[in-house]
């Protein structure tokens, strides 16, 4: 299903038509509103790999979707991800920070912050 972003209430949603369920914005009903609901390109999250700066080269939501697959776009920046399924993945959540948004440390150094989140699992050694 196509992915849309509503600028009326700033949500992203999947739907057959550009009509926002959250606030009722219907981009096709009024020409004035046609830019209020825009179709998004699905951008998958490329999870950070073991080497800094190098991703795993596949989508976080489905490892069978490889980097370079036709009609698929990828990013290693959580803020740029639009794929709803990638946003549900654990690797995305770890990279995106626990507060619901990327931490300042992550924005400054994307790969290191993602690694730090993983090494915290060692139990305090
Ligand atoms: Zn809306
Ligand atoms: Zn995805």
What mean pLDDT, rounded, does the chain reach?
83
| Proximal ligand: closest to the CA of 87 | 2
Domain count for the chain, please give it.
1
- The residue count of the chain comes to 125
**How close is the Cα of 89 to the center of ligand 1, in Å?**
24
43-85 pLDDT, tens digit per residue, is: 999 999 888 878 899 999 999 999 988 888 999 999 999 999 9
The structure tokens 């390109």 sit at: 41
Taking a 5 Å cut-off on Cβ, the residues next to ion ligand 1 are 6, 8-9, 20, 22-23, 25
Mean pLDDT of 17-35: 92
With respect to residue 95, please indicate whether it lies within any of the assigned structural domains: no
Q: Is the pLDDT of residue 112 over 90?
A: no
With respect to residue 42, please indicate whether it lies within any of the assigned structural domains: yes
With respect to residue 118, please indicate whether it lies within any of the assigned structural domains: no
With respect to residue 19, please indicate whether it lies within any of the assigned structural domains: yes
Range of the domain at 40: 3-89
| Proximal ligand: closest to the CA of 24 | 1
């Amino acid at each position: 299903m196509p992915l849309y972003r509503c600028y009326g209430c700033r949500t992203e949603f999947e739907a057959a038509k550009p009509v926002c369920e959250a606030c009722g914005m219907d981009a096709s009903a009024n020409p004035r509103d046609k830019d209020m609901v825009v179709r998004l390109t699905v951008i998958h999250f490329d999870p950070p790999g073991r080497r800094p700066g190098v991703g795993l080269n596949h989508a976080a939501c489905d490892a069978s979707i490889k980097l370079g697959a036709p009609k698929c776009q990828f990013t290693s920046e959580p803020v740029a991800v639009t794929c709803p399924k990638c946003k549900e993945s654990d690797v995305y959540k770890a990279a995106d920070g626990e507060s619901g948004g990327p931490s300042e440390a992550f924005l400054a150094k994307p790969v290191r912050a993602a690694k730090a989140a993983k090494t915290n699992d060692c139990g305090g050694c």
